[in-house]
Structure 1
Amino acid sequence: LFETLDDLAAAPRILGELFALDIYRRHLAETGGKQMVMIGYSDSNKDGGYVAASWALYRAQEAIARACDDHGIALTLFHGRGGTVARGGGPPGRAIRAQPPGTVRGRFRLTEQGETIASRYADPALAHRHLEQIVGAVLLASSETTARATSPGWRAAMDAMAMAAQEAYHALVERTPAFLEYWRTATPIDEIRRLRLGSRPAVRRGDAVTRTTVRAIPWVFSWMQSRFNLPGWYGLGAALDRAEPGLLQEMYVEWPFFRAILDNAEMSLLKADMGIAALYSGLVPDRALAAAVFSAIEEEYARTRDAILRATGHAELLDGDPVIQRSVHLRNPYVDPLNYVQIEMLRRLRASPDPDGPDAERLREVIAITINGIAAGLQNTG
């Protein structure tokens, strides 16, 4: 499994060294010369943000495919995708068609998150249609007639945009003083940690919660619950500002990978709500910190939204996918009251004189209900 930005960059070298081992070559010979390589989408996003992670994954797949070709090995890429855009989610057919040319070749494996099982497989007709879309996308991605080499100009633009986006992301989450305090108090991360969800603890090492120790799922989950949805778009506006508008429009129309980046970010932006996020920001005790961080997030949100609309030619977010657009517009008004209740319960819990007493426990029960409801309404957890 290669998942962090550093691991993705090192993947071809590691595979080359592995394939050079006599004992492993004998193993491959006895198993048909096939190699499965898993790539993860979660930690790379938490490391460098949405755009930098997407581009790093694209380049890593190309390099992994070349490493396997150099040693005559049949590659199957196993995509460890999550349910949210920040963790590689989104429509799977779109994601498959966005893979680098020459990396699918009729072989494709991906994870399906538990939160998506009911919506995709509970009804036999929907399950059949979903699998039909995946198979069709794999066939299209494998066809030489649909594969097109990526323009050097597009690649250069993506290099520059990934750097700009990562810089914007790091400026916020790594170099903003007391950003950790903001995240801890403007999101329900501490209550998410208490939930008996998932197969692994929310924090990797010990009890200290930091951006580096918290796992990607609760990191994304906390931002989704508070309607910032930050991991699914932050830095994209800074990235798009680095390229010529005409080039961006060309890339959006002709490059499935770039189109998927913008289309998925549109969905993230539409599910976010800066008005509600501002109320969560109001939970931060340090008002100067709250004002500074929220101002940066709100500014980047507006910049990202405007830049996407210019590049796509849409009048509103998700105009290119009216079915999903309508679904989000229908669901959001039912989610909003749950956010209001959650904010008030968090405020009361944090003001409680006895955080372990029965009153606090009742507040946590209500918060848990709102967490479940918001996740169901937005159709995303982490």
Structure 2
Amino acid sequence: MEDNLAAFNELVLLKYQVFNSIFLTLELDGVHRTGILLPLLQSHCQKGFEKSETPDEIINSFFEEWTDLDTEKKRNDQLFRFIQYIEREVVLVDSLEDAAFDRVNNLNGSGSFNSFYETVKKRRATDEMLEALKHFRVRLVLTAHPTQFYPGAVLGIITDLGEAIKANNLLAIKEYLTQLGKTPFFKKEKPTPYDEAVNLIWFLENIFYHAIPKIVNSIGVQLHQSTTALFEDNTLLQLGFWPGGDRDGNPFVKTDTTLKVAERMRTTLMKSYYRDIRKLKRHITFKGSEDKVLEIEQKLYEASFVNPKNAAIKLSWLKKALDNLHDDVEKNHQSLFIDDINELREKVKIFGFHFSSIGLRQDSRVIKSAFEAFKKFIPEWKTNKNLDTDFEALLKLAPAKQLPEVKDPVLNDTFQCIPAMKEIQKRNGAHGCYRFIISNCRDENDVARIFGMARFMGLGEKMFLDVIPLFETIDDLAVADAVMEKLYANATYMNHLKNRKKKQVIMLGFSDGTKDGGYLTANWSIYKAKETITSVSRKYGIKVVFFDGRGGPPARGGGNTHKFYASLGPTIDSSQIQLTIQGQTISSKFGTVDSARFNMEQLLTAGLENQVLNDPDKKLTEEERKVLEELSKVSYKAYQDFKKHPKFVPYLEEMSTLKYYGMTNISSRPTKRGKDDKLKFEDLRAIPFVGAWSQLKQNVPGFYGVGKAIAHFDSQGKLDEIKKLYQNSLFFRTLIENSMQSLSKSYFPLTRYMRNDKEFGKFWTLIYSESVQAKKYLLEISGQKELLQTNPAIKASIELRESIVLPLLTIQQFALIKIKELEKSGKGTTELAESYRKLVIRSLYGNINASRNSA
């Protein structure tokens, strides 16, 4: 750990100071003056908060003490320049961390396949590991949720700047810093759902296309086996893709979007294959083999550029052609460049013609409404007025004689999803689109409606389809096993599962679970739901696969994912790991080939560890379960009382940046569900909800209720039970350490002025008191003297980033105060008020981008 910290200090912190000073010398509009003033503002903010000054007092005194700017307009212009500069400082840190990734993180250390394999050999469990590798897999599902504020051009600069830093190319570094200074960070128009998909396809093409085969081939080399023999028909690492398919996440997604995204992925993949075969063509110049390469090249060229929609090339042909090429070179040409051929074969096996599987998602309530709209077209409805809730009958719907339509575009699109899925499977292969996720799943009827809809819209008798219920709220998690048992006990549904290799995928939502029940209860409820669902699935001989809706920060199920998955014991099926990756987590964890390989290996070995090593220590004892249950009960009550506080929603609406999320051009989707003007808790989307707390530097969803729950044990003289649980349970220890990360990024001096607010003062104090209590107990039960003491490199990264954004956050709070003052005086619609609103919106960007290490 100390080596990691030393590497961070040398390669990130020190270089940041050097390169930031270079940035100051660049001839950019206003940068030199801003660069001189910004360190002064940073120090001024820190000293001001130490003296309990308010953000407006800090900003006003700064201008009076350090500048001659004497009008609000001039001062606001300077504040905008500060924000622009801070945004670029954050990019510099991102690039430095990317460049130093392999030094700060031990790529062959804990969590790597190399380290795992050494443990396996010591335990003499190699045979068990080889057997697990035939079936185990990791699936990353990219989503377009709006937590990524960098436009595509800036992401490119981060990559290029990181490579220049790694190569110590000072001339290139200076050029990229200049480019950075001249490149706008904000988007003038909202992206379309298709734009968002194209942005993420960049990661498929430039990162995952290279990283995944490298991992697979590396494992083959370490085990001295061919990947074909090692993994048989299993694709060890898979990709899923929600942009263009997720209707619940984005109501603007329609059938034509889904089809366009699938087409873009396929043509992008074909071009990638084409580039690879062109490289091979330079090396495979042997008699007989050369003609084989040329034939493959010509067919890929047609599929990429000439006739991509109706290309004659078939996946089976391409696989066979590459196999023939491999055999010819091996037999007749001394296996020259055979590794390059094998890498392309591996890519074709992994990515097929689909690249990534598009997932369709819709809310159960919309699906139910769609059935009501379509009932006149469904013959069974004429004889069964209760069809919509007749579980057995829904599963047996007959195919429609012709595809019907209704006027409502959302409801019509819900049914038209299935023909779109059928079309994508035809063009991209069966894996191109075969999963339908049901958000807000409450009972077996929600699953039966999708199953029946697929039959009705003609997906076929033996449907290549996974119907995936998503259980999110605490109540839904509690009954999830009973819902699944009703499905398993049904002959029609069980027959479908037999066609799907007796595998059922079930999604569990961390984000909405935390929003609904609080941090501790959400995590413990999901853990218990996994246990009960595993039990009932095993009873019916079904292999259950859990698909986790995990976000970036711990409040949305993020944090240390390796420890989380490694902590699951034998009572939870872990034959696969599937999880969502979203927003800044995609660029921070998978933004380079090195970081992508590292983080995918971490997930891979965490799952294999549970499959192969089967440590008895991971199984919770009855005593530990009782402690966790009581902690959850107390925490849940505390969070529910907090959530029901009459000032809860008004506080977020009036004192945070919640309503400003919708004014940023970072996403095509609305920031809340429902169309009511009055904000209701249930309409809040998890991401703006968590983000609003983050902008306040309060991070409530990551700690609220934790302190109260531990205090409950302390009041009964049972604190040692919590300490013992922390020492013995990796699951609990991971929860606590992730909560520490949330607290470490909280900074209450920023909003201390709110304690004097007539309306919200007591509510602010309530939050602050719980943060103090939580920090006290987390340190006590962990034996640490400061938060994240055992993760010094992460701690140092957070501290650097938090120091950079402190002036930005101060500006944001200053602007919010000014807006309230202008609104109270009847000047809320003036040009000046609008200027302050723009300051708030722009300040959102830098703070979110600076939080990449929350993932």
TM-score range, shorter chain: over 0.9
What per-residue deviation string (whole Å, max 9, x for no partner) do you get for residues 140-167 of structure 1?
1223532432111111111111111111
1:19 maps to 2:488: yes
Q: Kindly tell me: are residues 347 and 288 of structure 1, through their superposed partners in 2, closer, same or farther at Cα, counting changes over 3 Å? A: closer
Among 222, 231, 248, the residue aligned to 2:701: 231
Q: Secondary structure at the match of 2:471?
A: coil
Structure 2 Cα separation of the partners of residues 117 and 264 of structure 1? 19
Superposed, 1:124-163 pairs within 5 Å as 124-147=593-616, 148-163=618-633
1:265 aligned residue: 739
1:45 aligned residue: 514
RMSD (Å) for aligned C-alpha atoms: 1.9
Superposed, 1:1-382 pairs within 5 Å as 1-147=470-616, 148-174=618-644, 176-198=645-667, 200-206=669-675, 207-243=677-713, 244-279=718-753, 281=754, 287-352=757-822, 353-379=826-852
Gaps of 5+ in 2: 1-469
Q: Secondary structure at the match of 1:36?
A: strand
Q: Which has the larger radius of gyration?
A: 2
Q: Does the Cα contact within 8 Å between 1:237 and 1:304 map onto a contact in 2?
A: yes
Q: Does the Cα contact within 8 Å between 1:104 and 1:138 map onto a contact in 2?
A: no
What per-residue deviation string (whole Å, max 9, x for no partner) do you get for residues 279-323 of structure 1?
4x36x9xx2332211211111111100111111000100111111
Q: Does the Cα contact within 8 Å between 1:61 and 1:100 map onto a contact in 2?
A: no
Q: Kindly tell me: are residues 248 and 381 of structure 1, through their superposed partners in 2, closer, same or farther at Cα, counting changes over 3 Å? A: closer
Letter in 1 for 2:732: F
Q: CA deviation at 1:179?
A: 2.8
Q: Kindly tell me: are residues 342 and 219 of structure 1, through their superposed partners in 2, closer, same or farther at Cα, counting changes over 3 Å? A: same
Q: Does the Cα contact within 8 Å between 1:160 and 1:242 map onto a contact in 2?
A: no
Structure 2 Cα separation of the partners of residues 81 and 223 of structure 1? 18
Q: Secondary structure at the match of 2:814?
A: helix
Q: CA deviation at 1:357?
A: 4.7
Q: Does the Cα contact within 8 Å between 1:245 and 1:310 map onto a contact in 2?
A: no
Structure 2 Cα separation of the partners of residues 314 and 27 of structure 1? 52
Structure 2 Cα separation of the partners of residues 100 and 79 of structure 1? 16
Q: Secondary structure at the match of 1:242?
A: helix
Q: CA deviation at 1:66?
A: 0.8
Question: Which is worse superposed, 70-79 or 144-153?
Answer: 144-153
Q: Does the Cα contact within 8 Å between 2:673 and 2:683 map onto a contact in 1?
A: yes
Structure 1 Cα separation of the partners of residues 798 and 646 of structure 2? 34
Q: Secondary structure at the match of 2:581?
A: coil
What per-residue deviation string (whole Å, max 9, x for no partner) do you get for residues 27-66 of structure 1?
0111211111111011111111111111111101101111
Q: CA deviation at 1:354?
A: 4.8
Q: CA deviation at 1:199?
A: 5.2
Structure 2 Cα separation of the partners of residues 354 and 262 of structure 1? 46
Q: Secondary structure at the match of 1:258?
A: helix
Letter in 1 for 2:800: L
Q: CA deviation at 1:195?
A: 2.4
Structure 1 Cα separation of the partners of residues 853 and 682 of structure 2? 22
Q: Kindly tell me: are residues 356 and 100 of structure 1, through their superposed partners in 2, closer, same or farther at Cα, counting changes over 3 Å? A: farther
Q: TM-score, normalised by structure 2?
A: 0.43
Q: Secondary structure at the match of 2:760?
A: helix
Of all paired residues, the percent bearing the same amino acid is 29
Structure 1 Cα separation of the partners of residues 673 and 563 of structure 2? 32
Q: Does the Cα contact within 8 Å between 1:248 and 1:311 map onto a contact in 2?
A: yes
Q: How many residues align?
A: 377
Q: Secondary structure at the match of 1:112?
A: strand
Q: Does the Cα contact within 8 Å between 1:62 and 1:100 map onto a contact in 2?
A: no
Structure 2 Cα separation of the partners of residues 289 and 160 of structure 1? 34
Q: TM-score, normalised by structure 1?
A: 0.93
Q: Does the Cα contact within 8 Å between 2:534 and 2:573 map onto a contact in 1?
A: no
2:246 aligned residue: none
Letter in 1 for 2:562: G
Question: Which is worse superposed, 96-105 or 241-250?
Answer: 96-105
Structure 2 Cα separation of the partners of residues 380 and 294 of structure 1? 26
What per-residue deviation string (whole Å, max 9, x for no partner) do you get for residues 248-289 of structure 1?
12211211110011000100000001111324x36x9xx233
Q: Does the Cα contact within 8 Å between 2:558 and 2:854 map onto a contact in 1?
A: no
Q: Secondary structure at the match of 2:504?
A: strand
Q: Kindly tell me: are residues 358 and 292 of structure 1, through their superposed partners in 2, closer, same or farther at Cα, counting changes over 3 Å? A: same
Structure 2 Cα separation of the partners of residues 253 and 151 of structure 1? 13
2:181 aligned residue: none
Structure 2 Cα separation of the partners of residues 199 and 89 of structure 1? 24
Structure 2 Cα separation of the partners of residues 381 and 240 of structure 1? 24
Question: Which is worse superposed, 10-19 or 363-372?
Answer: 363-372
Structure 2 Cα separation of the partners of residues 274 and 136 of structure 1? 38
Structure 2 Cα separation of the partners of residues 216 and 143 of structure 1? 35
